[in-house]
Amino acid sequence: MTGNKNNTYVLIMAGGVGSRFWPKSRNHFPKQFIDILGVGKSLLQLTYERFLNVCLPENIYILGNIAYEDLIKKQLPDLSDDQILLEPSRNNTAPCIAYASYKLLSANPEANIVVAPSDHLILKEQDFVSKIKQALDFTASREVLLTLGIQPSRPDTGYGYINFEKDSNDKGIHHVKSFAEKPILDKAIEFINSKAYLWNAGIFIWSGKSIKKAFEKHAPEIDLLFSKGNDSYNTKAESNFLAENYPLSPKISIDYAILEKADNVYTIPADIGWSDLGTWASLHAVAEKDDHQNVLNGGKISLESTKNCIIDIPKDKTAVIRGLDNFIIVDDGSALLIYPKSNEQEIKNIVLKISD
């Protein structure tokens, strides 16, 4: 069993930019801090509250870029300064997970850790919590790395996939054979039909000892760098160590650095109403719609002959729209986006060319 609840920790990664949600999501105010669902809370706040059902409040840590310190503190005022781990540079997920894990290990060698993104949607929260607790039970006493796998509902080409062994233990936990990059459509259909693939949601569970051994074996450069901080973690010297050493770490994801190399990776198939909310179209797919399949958020919106659109405007604005089908219309006050939903993958590159 998970044992002492004091040993359970959650690391919420909140350092991303979220450029596909432009213009609502900007470098200075990315999507995890936005009430993108129109429910009065940001995605980060919803994620934090979800994990209050998993561990003690003081054991939830936010990993964010140093530029977002004030945003994190404003949105989650109950956090202590020690629970806000600020990256001095953007070096992808492997270094930030190593830093946070080694810090936790320094304080508690029995740490059992959940790593999760801050900007995902989970509709079936009770099922999610149940799967996380099942995973924590499994990792508490085993040298394994576990990822929550999402039961695919369609042959999506925008997600990575997990190829798992169909045989499982008595808890329905499967050994992972391999990870697959975002596939072309024909390959995605093949994955779905085989019933041996899950979506990779980037939600991980492991003990601190297990992930430390994995870094030692598969990413020794990262291990060596962050092991040097063992005497500094949880002391006043930590911030100086981080400022000097963190930018020296390689820019690499946890998937490439560890998971795709390790042979002790397991997965739990989970039907939890998950979406990574990576794009406006993915939000349209899960949000509440009117009779014409429009998703509306913000001020007063008058529509004529308009369907399959997502429309987000400031609360103090009025919009009159006629004759649009399958469009994204987003006005954040200083920037306006009107773009075909079917071509939204172009938005990220366009944003790179214009001032943010």
Q: DSSP assignment of 320-344, as one string?
A: EEES-BSEEEEE-SS-EEEEEGGGG
Mean pLDDT, rounded, for 259-285: 92
Question: Residue 4's pLDDT is what?
Answer: 64
**Bridging pattern class, strands 318-322 and 336-340:** unpaired
CA distance 193 to 209: 37
Are 119 and 277 spatial neighbours (Cβ–Cβ below 8 Å)? Answer: yes
pLDDT tens digits for range 310-351? 999 998 999 999 999 999 999 988 899 999 999 988 888 888
Q: 241-260 burial, b for 16+ CB within 10 Å, e for fewer?
A: bbeebbeebeebebbbbbbb
pLDDT tens digits for range 52-82? 999 999 999 999 999 999 999 999 999 999 9
Higher-confidence position of 350 and 238: 238
Q: How confident is the model at residue 171 (pLDDT cuts 50, 70, 90)?
A: confident
CA distance 337 to 274: 26
- Amino acid at site 352: L
Mean pLDDT, rounded, for 174-193: 93
Tell me: pLDDT of 356 over 80. no
Question: Residue 355's pLDDT is what?
Answer: 60
DSSP state of 212: H
CA distance 65 to 85: 8
Question: Residue 44's pLDDT is what?
Answer: 97
- Amino acid at site 70: D
Q: Nearest 5°: phi and psi at 253?
A: -80, 160
- Judge if pTM exceeds 0.85: yes
Domains in the chain, CATH or no CATH each: 5-275 (3.90.550.10), 280-353 (no CATH)
pLDDT tens digits for range 114-141? 999 999 999 999 999 999 999 999 999 9
3 sits in the region (left: phi over 0; alpha: psi -120 to 50; else beta) called left
Are 267 and 146 spatial neighbours (Cβ–Cβ below 8 Å)? Answer: yes
Supply 346's token pair.
Answer: 């172009």
Q: Residue 220's CB: how many other CB atoms inside 10 A?
A: 11
DSSP assignment of 265-306 equals: EEEEEE-S-EE---SHHHHHHHS---TTS-EEESSEEEEES-
Supply 265's token pair.
Answer: 């990776």
Mean pLDDT, rounded, for 247-255: 96
Supply 231's token pair.
Answer: 């005497």
Supply 74's token pair.
Answer: 């404003």
Residue in 92, 230, 207, 236 with CA at minimum distance from that of residue 141: 207
SS3 84: strand
Helices (H) and strands (E) in the chain, counts: 11, 17
Supply 96's token pair.
Answer: 């930030």
Higher-confidence position of 125 and 278: 125
Instruction: Break the chain down into helix, strand, coil percent, rounded to 5.
Output: 35, 25, 35
Half-sphere exposure of 57 (CA within 13 A, CB side): 7
